[in-house]
Amino acid sequence: MSMFSSKTRSSALAGLTTVAMTFGALLPGSSANAAGLAFGAFSAYSNVAAAGEGSVLDLEGDDGAATAALTTALRREFAARGVGGGKEMSALELKLTMGCDDPPAPACMAEGGKTLGLHQMVYGTVVKVGDGFTVNLTLLDVDGVAVQESLSTPLSTDAFASGVIDETAKDLVNQMLGAEPEPEEPIAEPEPVYEEPVYEEPAQDDGGGLVWGRHDAARWKKVGLTTSAVLTVAAVGAGVAMFVITRKDRLVHRELIEAAKASLEDDESSNDVDPYSDQNLCDVANTPLPRKDGMGQGVTNDDVAYVCQKGNVLAKAGLASSVAAGVFGVSTIVFATLLFVHRDKNDGVAAKLRIHQAAVGISPTSDGGAMVGGRWRF
């Protein structure tokens, strides 16, 4: 439809409206009613909707059946989202009545919406494109004269089938308004459950005095004892080994003598360390001596000093192993005590009570009192 024809129809309808209103005011009651019947089509547009604030206008389209089916489905979906309850009419008729251009300006459509008493209004077209359709929708804020949301999307012919049209409308509404949040399920309060009082025997004493012996001990005690014993043996072995190899005439001492003899056999006399001297060979080897290259202070014999240093390290390692052996030994004794020492379950008053299966209990009665009972096996 051209813009000229649209404006021509709008002008004609506006002129008829003016005539109807003039005659309605001048004629008596019966004549006024006749004039109202003659122009009843316009009165459907000018009456303000008493209920509701939103409406989906009849869509315009090339396929009447598809357009009508989508209009009906959109009205249900928009109404479920709060846009509904208002006056329903054709978008084409509203455009002609208000003299809107094609496509209509939001301001012109908003004026028509105010005439119908609407606050929100949805209108659009369903245009045939190839084997499918293109749906164009506009959600208009009538009060603010502004487009809230607009949508243009292609749809296949299958989307307009009777079993699919509702899902199609829901998808279009979700695209414009966003997906509807899932309703929260109410949390059901648990019903009070009455429980019968259960008689429980008092906790039994584990026994009397402490005794030594095997029993069903906790696993951590067994692991602790095993670990402490292994570490104790290892520390003792390492300490003994360090003590042996650092003694006189043993490995380190023989290495020291050999290094001292080698110092007598080389060409240098300044680094001689006499292995047969009564002096401490390590003190002689570590005597400060200026270096021949002039690079600071050195010692009399580096080789002998190195063997002495190694012997000192091994001696300290032996001492540390001896200390560790003592610590691990004490730990072994503690874990052994925890593992084998336990309370005698066959001694004391508690054991006698267990033998006689003595027990005392109390339970409520139906009249609000209490009943005390006991048990003793002879």
27-79 pLDDT tens trace = 343 333 333 333 333 333 333 333 348 999 999 988 888 899 999 999 999 99
Residue 152: band (very low, low, confident or very high) from pLDDT cuts 50, 70, 90: very high
* Mean pLDDT of the region 255-277: 73
Bridge partners, 210 (sequence order):
343
**pLDDT at 151 (0 to 100):** 92
Q: Looking at the 3D structure of the chain, how many domains does it have?
A: 4
Please give the full DSSP string across 165-233, using - where no structure is assigned.
Answer: HHHHHHHHHHHHH-PPPPPPPPPPPPPP--------PPPPP--SSEEES-----HHHHHHHHHHHHHHH
Phi, psi of 166 (to 5 degrees): -65, -40
**pLDDT at 47 (0 to 100):** 37
**Of 146-150, 183-187, 225-229, 240-244, highest mean pLDDT:** 146-150
Phi, psi of 107 (to 5 degrees): -65, -40
10, 83: one domain: no
Q: Is residue 284 part of a domain?
A: yes
287, 356: one domain: no
**pLDDT at 359 (0 to 100):** 62
Residue 91: band (very low, low, confident or very high) from pLDDT cuts 50, 70, 90: confident
Q: Is the pLDDT of residue 14 over 70?
A: no
Residue 139: band (very low, low, confident or very high) from pLDDT cuts 50, 70, 90: very high
Q: Is residue 189 part of a domain?
A: no
- The first and second tokens of residue 47, run together, are 């009456």
Residue 312: band (very low, low, confident or very high) from pLDDT cuts 50, 70, 90: confident
Q: Is residue 103 part of a domain?
A: yes
* Mean pLDDT of the region 239-260: 77
Number of C-alpha atoms within 13 angstroms, CB side, residue 368?
0
Greater confidence (17 vs 204) lies with: 204
Domain extent for 248: 210-343
Q: Is the pLDDT of residue 257 over 90?
A: no
Last residue of a domain, one of 26, 46, 66: 46
226, 289: one domain: yes
| CATH at 137 | 3.40.50.10070
**pLDDT at 237 (0 to 100):** 87
User: Are 57 and 123 contacting, i.e. CB atoms less than 8 angstroms apart?
Assistant: yes
Q: Is residue 257 part of a domain?
A: yes
218, 321: one domain: yes
56, 41: one domain: no
214, 338: one domain: yes
225, 307: one domain: yes
Task: Indicate the pTM of the whole model.
Answer: 0.38
* Mean pLDDT of the region 328-334: 85
Q: How do residues 154-165 score in pLDDT, each as one tens digit?
A: 999 898 888 899
Where does residue 52 fall: left (phi above 0), alpha (psi -120 to 50 degrees), or beta otherwise? left
Rg, C-alpha atoms of the chain? 54
Q: Is the pLDDT of residue 9 over 50?
A: no
267, 332: one domain: yes
Tally helices (H) and strands (E) across the chain: 12, 11
**pLDDT at 74 (0 to 100):** 92
101, 17: one domain: no
Q: How do residues 101-113 score in pLDDT, each as one tens digit?
A: 888 899 999 998 8
* pLDDT averaged over every residue in the chain: 74
Q: Is the pLDDT of residue 114 over 50?
A: yes
Q: What percent of the chain has pLDDT over 70?
A: 67
- The closest alpha carbon to 158, from 131, 138, 123, belongs to 131
**pLDDT at 368 (0 to 100):** 63
**pLDDT at 12 (0 to 100):** 41
* Mean pLDDT of the region 159-177: 90
Q: Is residue 360 part of a domain?
A: yes
Q: How do residues 345-361 score in pLDDT, each as one tens digit?
A: 555 555 565 666 666 66
Q: Is the pLDDT of residue 24 over 50?
A: no
* Mean pLDDT of the region 293-321: 79
**pLDDT at 167 (0 to 100):** 93
**pLDDT at 67 (0 to 100):** 92
Phi, psi of 175 (to 5 degrees): -65, -35
Amino acid at position 32, single letter = A
